[in-house]
Amino acid sequence: MKNNILFKKWLLDLQLTHPLVIAGPCSAETEAQVLSTAHLIKDTDTTFFRAGIWKPRTRPGQFEGVGSIGLKWLQRVKEETGLKTATEIANASHVEQALKHHIDLLWIGARSTVSPFIVQEIAEALRGTDKIVLVKNPVNPDLPLWLGAVERLQSVGIEKLGVIHRGFSSYHEKVYRNKPKWPLAIELRKQFPDLPLLLDPSHICGNRELIFEVCQTGLDLNYDGFMIETHIDPNGAWSDAAQQITPHRLNEITQQLKVKKPLLEETDYINRLTIYRKELDQLDQNLIELLSSRMDIAEQIGKLKHEKNVTILQSSRWDELMQKMIEIGSKRGLSQEFIEKLFKAIHLESIQHQQDINK
């Protein structure tokens, strides 16, 4: 897939003066719940009203969605509020029914993105339509798999594409329901700056308390908008109750978020930034030189060990060094995680140099 300026066209055509908002309940439950939520959402920055009709649930026996009757409720939402509509599709039959009910935006959920067979089936069913199709990240942190799903849609002629970052499941994670792993989305953004990138803070957080700050992080990273689960009575929701917010709270959040400019042409800003960047460039160059000197010494050690027939890997020495660096780093405001990653990389490179010298 090549970066394509046309990716963004559907978003630009909406002519929004704020980030895109897709909001609505996790699940359509009853006609009254859908319509009352939509009537309140209509007075927020929301463009698309979302509701899950078919719900992929981790364990059977939970509420699995109302099925296609809910599509009629979404049609009523559009007629009564003017909001465009959005739902998740997970197979060819869902696509067919959603198209029949004129749903404006379809998204592929995290559990479907993992399966190339399912994505291909959905893509075939969508062939020839001009709907907006968004792809949520797969549950596992696999960027090529995520991009592969976008490519399958692109190859059947879908042009109005975008992706939704909803976080990645992780067994040990405590803070988030799905770990954001921001660097992965940043990498996607770097490779495809024109592919609309939305954030789903609801499924990342799993609770309502963290939603605002996760949204702000998204804006600081230049995301194009959000999908936020919003319910007339969050605590009474039939699915994902803990993470849903009221339309009133949705409005507060979107009003309080600070949209940052991706670029600023102001002279004072550019001059100051240029000075800082020059300093950084110099420091980065120093880092490379220091690392290179470090490798020279590692090579000398490698030679010495070779002469004296001693193994290259000396784990206890590295454990000691790592502890010392973590300690020094923490006094200098560098996290343990960062120091560990940095010195693991340095260690591996050192071993490589020591091995190469004796070849």
Q: What residues line the site for ligand PEP (CB under 6 A)? A: 26, 52, 56, 88, 109-111, 136, 166, 200, 203
Nearer Cβ to Mn ion (29/240): 240
**Which option in Mn ion, ligand PEP, none does residue 109 bind, with CB closer than 5 to 8 A by kind?**
ligand PEP
Q: Which two tokens stand for residue 31?
A: 């006609």
Nearer Cβ to Mn ion (46/350): 46
* Strand blocks (E) in 26-182: 48-50, 84-88, 105-108, 132-136, 161-165
CB of 26 to ligand PEP, least distance (A): 5
CB of 52 to ligand PEP, least distance (A): 5
CB of 290 to Mn ion, least distance (A): 48
Q: Which amino acid would we find at residue 40?
A: L
Please, are residues 232 and 246 in contact by the beta-carbon 8 Å criterion?
yes
Nearer Cβ to Mn ion (111/294): 111
CA-based angle 295:296:300, to the nearest 5? 110
- State which residue has the least CB distance to ligand PEP: 109
CB of 203 to Mn ion, least distance (A): 6
**CA distance linking residue 234 with residue 230, whole number of Å:** 7
Contacts of 129 (CB under 8 A, 6+ apart): 99, 158
**Which option in ligand PEP, Mn ion, none does residue 84 bind, with CB closer than 5 to 8 A by kind?**
none
Binding site for Mn ion (CB under 5 A): 26, 240
Nearer Cβ to ligand PEP (110/195): 110
Nearer Cβ to Mn ion (51/123): 51
CB of 207 to Mn ion, least distance (A): 13
Nearer Cβ to ligand PEP (123/205): 205
**CA distance linking residue 185 with residue 309, whole number of Å:** 47
CB of 170 to Mn ion, least distance (A): 18
Please, are residues 226 and 263 in contact by the beta-carbon 8 Å criterion?
no
Task: Please report which helix (H) or strand (E) contains residue 23, including its range.
Answer: strand 20-24
Q: Which two tokens stand for residue 109?
A: 């959920």
CB of 29 to ligand PEP, least distance (A): 13
Please, are residues 20 and 199 in contact by the beta-carbon 8 Å criterion?
no
**CA distance linking residue 122 with residue 359, whole number of Å:** 53
Nearer Cβ to ligand PEP (89/339): 89
Nearer Cβ to ligand PEP (200/224): 200
**Sign of the four-CA dihedral 179, 182, 187, 192:** positive
Helix (H, G, I), strand (E, B) or coil at 86: strand
**Which option in Mn ion, ligand PEP, none does residue 86 bind, with CB closer than 5 to 8 A by kind?**
none
List phi, psi (to 5°) of 182.
Answer: -50, -40
CB of 25 to Mn ion, least distance (A): 8
Separate counts of helices (H) and strands (E) for the chain: 14, 8
- Give how far Cα 49 sits from Cα of 7, 43, 144, 257, 331, Å: 22, 12, 29, 20, 49
Residue with tokens 């990240």: 137
